[in-house]
Chains A and B, each alone.
Chain A
Amino acid sequence: MNDLDLLLLVSIGTTAVLFAFGTWRWAGALGTLLYALQLALLAVMRPELPLASGIGFEVLGYRLQWSLSGLGWFFAIITVASALFSAWFAAGEWGQHRRNLRLLHGGLALNVTAMLILLASDDLISLFIGWELVSWASYLAMVQRGGPAMDAAYRYLVYALAGALAVLVAIAMIAAQSPALDFGSVRVWFASAGNGTIWTVMLLTMAGFGVKMGLLPLHLWQPAAYSESPGPIAAFLGAISSRMGLFAIIVVLAQLIGLERLGNLPVAFSFWNANEFWAWLAALTLIVPTFIALTQNDARMLLAWHGIGQGGYMLLGILIATPLGVSGGLMHVINYACYQAALFLAVTAVAHRTGTTDLDHLGGLINRMPLTYVTMLFCIIGLAGLPPMNGFVSKWMIYKALLDAQMPLLFVAAVIGTLGTILSVYKLIHNTFLGQLRLEHAQVNEVPISMWLPMILLALIVFITGWMPGLFLDLVDEAVVAIGITQLPHHLGGVDLGNGGLDMLWIVGVLLAAIGIGAIVYFLGNRSVRVGQFDNYAGGQILTADVPYQYSHQFYAGLLRVIQPWMRGGMAWGERALVSGADFLGGAMSGLYRAAPAGAYLLLAVLAALAVTLL
C-alpha cells in the first residue's frame, strides 16, 4: 500500500466517520483534523509523483487504474485545503444550531473523496467514474437547504447528466478505435486521429466537462446552485468544485490531444484554429458572467457569477500554451480558491449575524464586524486582481503571456473582465460594510473565533502569496511539468523575463513602505476628530439614522444604462426554449401513447407501410 492508496483510504474513512458521527458536537473539528491529515499525506507524496495506486482491476477487457500525476496532485491540494477551511468554519458556532449537520459534514467529505478519485484517474473509464461520483456528490452538497436549493440542484443535475452523456459518447467513440483507454494509449491514438474525429471528440468532451466548469453557454445552473447551498459548502463548491471541470478539460486538451495539436487544428470556414476558438470562448466566459455579476443584488449570487468568470481566466491562460501562460492559468486556480473560499465565508459570516445577504439590505457593518471586513477587503483585492494580492500575480502572468504570444485582443478582453470585477467587488464591499449602518444592525457583533480565524488565515494566505508568489509557483510547477510544458523559471518574488518581469517582493515592499510614508504625512497634519457612524448630512440636511440613505440599489446605474441593452439574457432564453421544446415533445409523445385512438395508430401504420412500399 503506497501513499496514494493510504490517502484514498483516509478520505473514504473520513466520509464514513463523518456520516456516522456527523451530529456529534466535535464532528466539525474531527473533520478538520482528518482533512489536515489528508493534506499532510499529499505533502508527503510530493517527491514520489506521479504515483500509481495499487488498486486497479479489469472490466470487459478494459483496465481501470488510478494514478496521481503532478496535475492531479496540484488540484488535490486545493481540494483538501478548501475542505479543511470550510469544515473549520462550520465546526464552531456556525454549525451549533443547524439541522442536517450529518449531511453537511458527510456531504463535504464525500465531495472530497469523489474529487480525489477523479483527480487520480489514469484512464478514460476511471475518469468517467470519478466524474459521475463528483457530479452526484455535488448534487448532495447543493440540495441540502431544500426549497430553491432543490430546484437549483435539480437544474444542475439535468445539465450534469446531459454533459455526462456527451462525455460517454466521446469515450465510446474513442473506445471503438483506440486499442486501450488508458491515457497513454489514448494520447497515441489522438496523435494519429484525423481532424474531424478530434473535433467531434473534443466538442463532446468540452460540452460535458464544460458544464461543470461553467463554460459559456453551459453556465446557467451554477450561480443559484452554489449560492443556495449552506455557507461553508458554498465556499468549498465555489473554490474548487467547478475546477474539476477545468481539470478534466486540461486532461483532454493538454494531456491527451496536446496544446500543439490544438494550434494546428483548423476551424472549418475560418482563419481560426481550435486553440483560438477555445481561447475566445474562455474570453467570453470571463467577460459575460463578470458583467452579470455586476448587476446582482445578492452577495452570494455575485460571488458565484464571478466564479464562472474567473474560470475563464484559467482556461485562457492554459490555452496560451507558453510556460508563462500555463503557469499563470494554473496558479490562478489556487489563488482563486483562496480568495473565493474566504469571500464566501465572509458573506456567510455576515449572513450569520444579520440574517441576510441582500446587498440592498446591508451596509455600514465595518465597525461592527472589522475582522470580516478585513477578510473581505483582502480577498476582493485578490479577486479584482490588483496588487499586492495573489490574484494580481496570476492575472499578470496571463496578461503578459497574451502580449508575448501576440494576442492583443484577448489581452484586452482579459482586462475588460478585470475592470468589471473591480466595479463589482467594490459594490460588494460597499453595500455590505461601508456606507450607512442600518439601525437593526447597530448591535451586531463580530463572529466568534471559530469562524473568523479560518477566514483571516485565508486572507493572510492571499496576501502572503501575493507578496511571495514563488510559494505557489513551486506547487504549480508540478502541474505544469505533468502537462508536458517546460517549467517556468521563477524565484520567490515572481518571474524574471527578458522583456519585463515581475518581482512582487519589491513591489509589495515598496507599496507598504509608501503607505508608511503616507501614514507619516497623515499624522503630520492637525488632529482630526472622529465622529459617530450616524453623524452625516447631505443636501444641507442632517441625515438621521432612521432614514435610509445608503446608495446601494443599482449602484452603477450609468454604466448599466449603456451595457444593459446588450444583456438580453439570450442564453437564458435559449435554455427556456430548450426546456419548453422538450416539454412539448414529451407532451406530444405522452398524448400519442395515452390519448390517440387505436384508429390513428392503424392509419399511421398503413401510411408508413405505403410509404415504404412506394419508396
Chain B
Amino acid sequence: MDFTHLFVELVLMPLIAFLVGLVMVLMLRKVRAKIERRIGPPLLQPLYDIVKLYSKKTQVSHGPMHEIAMMVALGGVIAMEVFLPVPGLNGLAEKGDLIVLIYLMMIPSLGLALGVGACANPNGSIGISRALTAMVAYDIPLMIVVAGVALFHGTTSLPEIIAAQQAGGMSTWGIVQTPVLALGGLIAAYAMLGKEPFEIYVAPAEIATGPMVEMSGKFMGTLFVMQCFQLYAVGVLYTTLFLGGGEYWISFLPKIFAVVFIPLAMTNVFPRYKTEDVLKWMWKWAGGFALAGLALVVMK
C-alpha cells in the first residue's frame, strides 16, 4: 500500500466517523423528542452545540492534567477509528487486531478518568468510580463475546472476520451463525453506550452528572465530540462482528444506524439501575448469553 493512499485513509476514517457520529447524536435527540412528543432539534444542532461549547467565554481549567486528559481522550477515540475497517477503507486494521481495538477503546475512558480526577470534585470522582465499575460490568460479557467470535472465525483480524461473514451473503453473518453470542454482544454494546438504565456514572440527580460536573466550554465540547465517535464506534464494531461488516456504504450505514438505534429507542423509557444492580444484571444476562453463545461455538 502506498503512503499517500494510507494517509488519505487515516484522515478519512476519523472524519467519516465524526460526521456519522454527529448524525447519530442527532438521531439520539430526535428519538427522545419523538417519545416525549416534542419536535426535536434541527439537522445541524449537534454541530451548533459543538461550536457553541468550544467558543464559550467562561472556561474553567483545573490544571495541566485536566487539559492533557481532554487531548488524550479525544486522541484515543480518533486513533481507535483507524483500526475499525469500514467499506473501502481498511486503515491500520492489519497492524492491530480485535483485541488491540478493544483495549484502544479503553484509552479515552482512562484519559477522561485522569482529567476528572485532576478536577478534585468529589462528584466527579464518584462518577469515575462508577464508570469504571460499569466498565467491569459490560467488558466481561463483551470479552466473552470477543472470545467467541475469535474462536468461531479462527482469527482476531477484523478484515478476515468481515471477509468470512461476507463469503455467503446474509447466511454467513455472525448474527445468523452465532445468534446467542450476538444477543450477548448487543446487550454489552447497549451498556457500553452508558444510557439509561446503565447511566450510573452520569446520574444527574445523585452526583450532578458525575464526570461532567467540572467540564465547561471546550472541555464539555470534547466530551460531546467523543460521544459522536463512540456511538459510531459501537455501531461499527457490532456490525463488523455480527452483521457482516460493510461491502458498500449504502448497505453499511443502515446497519450501523440500526445497531445504535436499538438501545437509543429503548433507553428513554428506563429509570436508572443502582451500581451493584448494573453489575449483577450485566453479568447475569449479557454474561449468561455470551457464555451460552461461547459454549455453542466451542461445541460446533
The answer on a CB contact under 8 Å between A411 and B147 is: yes
The answer on a CB contact under 8 Å between A511 and B79 is: yes
Q: Decide if A399 is an interface residue (CB 8 Å cutoff).
A: yes
Q: Decide if A274 is an interface residue (CB 8 Å cutoff).
A: no
The answer on a CB contact under 8 Å between B78 and A419 is: no
The answer on a CB contact under 8 Å between A518 and B73 is: yes
Known: A366-B63, A377-B114, A514-B79. A430 touches B125 (CB 8 A): yes
Which of A503, A522, A530 makes the CB contact (< 8 A) with B62? A530
The answer on a CB contact under 8 Å between B76 and A429 is: no
Q: Decide if B212 is an interface residue (CB 8 Å cutoff).
A: no
Of the candidate stretches B104-112, B191-199, B236-244, B249-257, the one touching chain A is B104-112
The answer on a CB contact under 8 Å between A499 and B135 is: no
Known: A426-B110, A429-B117, A558-B275. A412 touches B71 (CB 8 A): no
Q: Decide if B148 is an interface residue (CB 8 Å cutoff).
A: yes
The answer on a CB contact under 8 Å between B63 and A415 is: no
Q: Decide if A528 is an interface residue (CB 8 Å cutoff).
A: yes
The answer on a CB contact under 8 Å between A556 and B59 is: no
The answer on a CB contact under 8 Å between B106 and A386 is: yes
B95 / chain A contacts, CB cutoff of 8 Å: 493, 501-503, 506-507
Question: Least Cβ distance of B200 to chain A in Å?
Answer: 8
Known: A525-B55, A536-B120. A416 touches B156 (CB 8 A): no
The answer on a CB contact under 8 Å between B132 and A556 is: yes
Q: Which residue of B lies closest to A511 (CB)?
A: B79
Known: A386-B110, A387-B100, A518-B70. A499 touches B160 (CB 8 A): yes
Q: Decide if B72 is an interface residue (CB 8 Å cutoff).
A: yes
Which residues of B179-221 have CB atoms within 8 Å of chain A's CB atoms? Answer: 200, 208, 213, 217-219, 221
Q: Decide if A594 is an interface residue (CB 8 Å cutoff).
A: no
Q: Which residue of A lies closest to B290 (CB)?
A: A412
Which of A409, A506, A526, A558 makes the CB contact (< 8 A) with B276? A558
B54 / chain A contacts, CB cutoff of 8 Å: 524-526
The answer on a CB contact under 8 Å between B110 and A526 is: no
Q: Which residue of A lies closest to B161 (CB)?
A: A500
A551 and B124 CA atoms in complex are apart in Å by: 9
The answer on a CB contact under 8 Å between B99 and A518 is: no
Which of A430, A436, A506, A519 makes the CB contact (< 8 A) with B96? A506
B84 / chain A contacts, CB cutoff of 8 Å: none
A558 and B217 CA atoms in complex are apart in Å by: 31
Q: Decide if A584 is an interface residue (CB 8 Å cutoff).
A: no
Q: Decide if B103 is an interface residue (CB 8 Å cutoff).
A: yes
Which residues of B236-285 have CB atoms within 8 Å of chain A's CB atoms? Answer: 274-276, 278-280
The answer on a CB contact under 8 Å between A558 and B120 is: no
A527 and B122 CA atoms in complex are apart in Å by: 25
Which residues of A425-481 have CB atoms within 8 Å of chain B's CB atoms? Answer: 426, 429-430, 433-437
Q: Decide if B10 is an interface residue (CB 8 Å cutoff).
A: yes
The answer on a CB contact under 8 Å between A419 and B140 is: yes
Question: Least Cβ distance of A466 to chain B in Å?
Answer: 12
Q: Decide if A354 is an interface residue (CB 8 Å cutoff).
A: no
A392 and B100 CA atoms in complex are apart in Å by: 9
Per-residue interface assignment for chain B, residues 82 to 96, with 1 indicating a CB less than 8 Å from any chain A CB and 0 otherwise: 110000000010111
Q: Decide if A268 is an interface residue (CB 8 Å cutoff).
A: no
B147 / chain A contacts, CB cutoff of 8 Å: 403, 408-409, 411-412
A120 and B28 CA atoms in complex are apart in Å by: 64
Q: Decide if A367 is an interface residue (CB 8 Å cutoff).
A: yes
B70 / chain A contacts, CB cutoff of 8 Å: 518, 522
Per-residue interface assignment for chain B, residues 280 to 296, with 1 indicating a CB less than 8 Å from any chain A CB and 0 otherwise: 10000000000000100
A423 / chain B contacts, CB cutoff of 8 Å: 132-133, 135-136
Known: A511-B79, A521-B222, A526-B56. A396 touches B99 (CB 8 A): yes
The answer on a CB contact under 8 Å between A522 and B60 is: no
A507 and B62 CA atoms in complex are apart in Å by: 30
Q: Decide if A614 is an interface residue (CB 8 Å cutoff).
A: no
B117 / chain A contacts, CB cutoff of 8 Å: 426, 429-430, 433-435
Which of A409, A526, A537 makes the CB contact (< 8 A) with B59? A526
B65 / chain A contacts, CB cutoff of 8 Å: 366, 373, 434
The answer on a CB contact under 8 Å between B150 and A403 is: yes
The answer on a CB contact under 8 Å between B110 and A507 is: no
Which of B63, B100, B219 makes the CB contact (< 8 A) with A530? B63
A422 and B139 CA atoms in complex are apart in Å by: 12
Q: Decide if A595 is an interface residue (CB 8 Å cutoff).
A: no
The answer on a CB contact under 8 Å between B217 and A526 is: yes
Q: Which residue of B lies closest to A540 (CB)?
A: B208
The answer on a CB contact under 8 Å between A515 and B71 is: yes
Q: Decide if B57 is an interface residue (CB 8 Å cutoff).
A: yes
The answer on a CB contact under 8 Å between A412 and B140 is: yes
Q: Decide if B123 is an interface residue (CB 8 Å cutoff).
A: yes
Interface of A is mostly: helix
Q: Which residue of B lies closest to A530 (CB)?
A: B61
The answer on a CB contact under 8 Å between A536 and B279 is: no
The answer on a CB contact under 8 Å between A527 and B59 is: yes
Q: Which residue of B lies closest to A531 (CB)?
A: B60
The answer on a CB contact under 8 Å between A561 and B67 is: no
Q: Decide if B8 is an interface residue (CB 8 Å cutoff).
A: no
Q: Decide if A420 is an interface residue (CB 8 Å cutoff).
A: yes
Known: A515-B75, A526-B57. A408 touches B298 (CB 8 A): yes
Q: Which residue of A lies closest to B126 (CB)?
A: A551
Question: Least Cβ distance of B204 to chain A in Å?
Answer: 13
Question: Least Cβ distance of B104 to chain A in Å?
Answer: 6
The answer on a CB contact under 8 Å between B110 and A422 is: yes
Which of B56, B121, B130, B297 makes the CB contact (< 8 A) with A538? B121
Q: Decide if B24 is an interface residue (CB 8 Å cutoff).
A: no
The interface centre, meaning the residue of A411, A498, A514, A550 with most chain B CB atoms within 10 A of its CB, is A514
Q: Which residue of B lies closest to A402 (CB)?
A: B147
Which residues of B36-67 have CB atoms within 8 Å of chain A's CB atoms? Answer: 53-63, 65, 67
The answer on a CB contact under 8 Å between A434 and B76 is: no
Q: Decide if A406 is an interface residue (CB 8 Å cutoff).
A: yes
Q: Decide if A311 is an interface residue (CB 8 Å cutoff).
A: no
Q: Decide if B177 is an interface residue (CB 8 Å cutoff).
A: no
A403 and B103 CA atoms in complex are apart in Å by: 16
Which of A396, A412, A435 makes the CB contact (< 8 A) with B100? A396
Q: Decide if B171 is an interface residue (CB 8 Å cutoff).
A: no
A514 and B113 CA atoms in complex are apart in Å by: 18
Known: A419-B140, A524-B54. A550 touches B122 (CB 8 A): yes
Q: Decide if B129 is an interface residue (CB 8 Å cutoff).
A: yes
Known: A422-B132, A430-B125, A435-B125. A415 touches B74 (CB 8 A): no
A537 / chain B contacts, CB cutoff of 8 Å: 121
A422 and B143 CA atoms in complex are apart in Å by: 15
The answer on a CB contact under 8 Å between B123 and A538 is: yes
The answer on a CB contact under 8 Å between B76 and A514 is: yes
The answer on a CB contact under 8 Å between B110 and A558 is: no
The answer on a CB contact under 8 Å between B75 and A511 is: yes
A562 and B78 CA atoms in complex are apart in Å by: 34
Q: Decide if A559 is an interface residue (CB 8 Å cutoff).
A: yes
The answer on a CB contact under 8 Å between A514 and B129 is: no
Question: Least Cβ distance of A292 to chain B in Å?
Answer: 15
Q: Decide if A253 is an interface residue (CB 8 Å cutoff).
A: no
Q: Decide if B228 is an interface residue (CB 8 Å cutoff).
A: no
Q: Decide if B234 is an interface residue (CB 8 Å cutoff).
A: no
Q: Decide if A163 is an interface residue (CB 8 Å cutoff).
A: no
A529 and B151 CA atoms in complex are apart in Å by: 51
Contact residues of B with A, CB < 8 Å? 10, 14, 53-63, 65, 67, 70-76, 78-79, 82-83, 92, 94-100, 103-104, 106-107, 110, 113-114, 117-123, 125-126, 128-130, 132-133, 135-136, 139-140, 143-144, 147-148, 150-151, 154-158, 160, 200, 208, 213, 217-219, 221-222, 225, 274-276, 278-280, 294, 297-298
Identify 21 residue pairs between A and B in the complex whose beta-carbon atoms are under 8 Å apart, listed by A's number.
A403-B156, A408-B151, A415-B140, A416-B140, A419-B136, A429-B114, A434-B118, A499-B154, A501-B97, A512-B75, A517-B14, A521-B71, A526-B54, A528-B61, A529-B61, A537-B121, A538-B122, A538-B123, A538-B213, A550-B120, A559-B136
Given A400-B99, A525-B218, A536-B120, 8 more A-B residue pairs with CB atoms under 8 Å apart are A396-B100, A403-B147, A416-B143, A500-B158, A518-B72, A519-B71, A538-B122, A539-B123
